[in-house]
Amino acid sequence: MQAKPMSQACFSESYSVGNDALNQYGIMHGGRLLTLADEVGFMAASRHAAVDCLTRAIYQAQFHHPIHQHETIDCSAQVGLAGNTSLWVQINIRRQGDDTPAMQAVIIYVAVDKHMRPTPVPPLLAENEDERLLQASMQTLKDTEKKAE
């Protein structure tokens, strides 16, 4: 299977925060942020794998800053590591126009065939230093997970 560049293994979208996404404190509900993270992560993983993907795990989900009603957020996902059938995706959610992350996570997906069985994914080609650093940090996380099993 031919490797695909990391620059093509990404997805992003913007989201305007409405009243239905708020918790009792008037800030965006953490569960809604996780849902958005999973949705953009799925899109990046599925694009790279060229098949459907299922969420296996969410790691290191961290909420840094509250998001308020009527703010627009940018949600981005970058596949950072491709295993045999798994894809490790870095998620970043920021307020539009603000480089400070509001939420970050790593989500692991498994590529599946039409019978929902794990299926191989293309290798991921890191083309620059930032991509190599992301790939290395994802590999470290993957190695740490294996030791914990």
Structure pTM? 0.93
Domains and CATH numbers, the chain: 4-148 (3.10.129.10)
Residue pLDDT, tens place only, 37-90: 999 999 999 999 999 999 999 988 999 999 999 999 999 999 999 999 999 999
Tell me the residue length of the chain: 149
| Confidence check: pLDDT of 148 > 70 | no
Helix (H), strand (E), coil (C) string for the chain: CCCEEHHHCEEEEEEECCHHHECCCCEECHHHHHHHHHHHHHHHHHHHHCCCEEEEEEEEEEECCCCECCCEEEEEEEEEEECCCEEEEEEEEEECCCCCEEEEEEEEEEEECCCCCECCCCCEECCCHHHHHHHHHHHHHHHHHHHHC
pLDDT digits 0-9 by tens, 14-42: 999 999 999 999 999 999 999 999 999 99
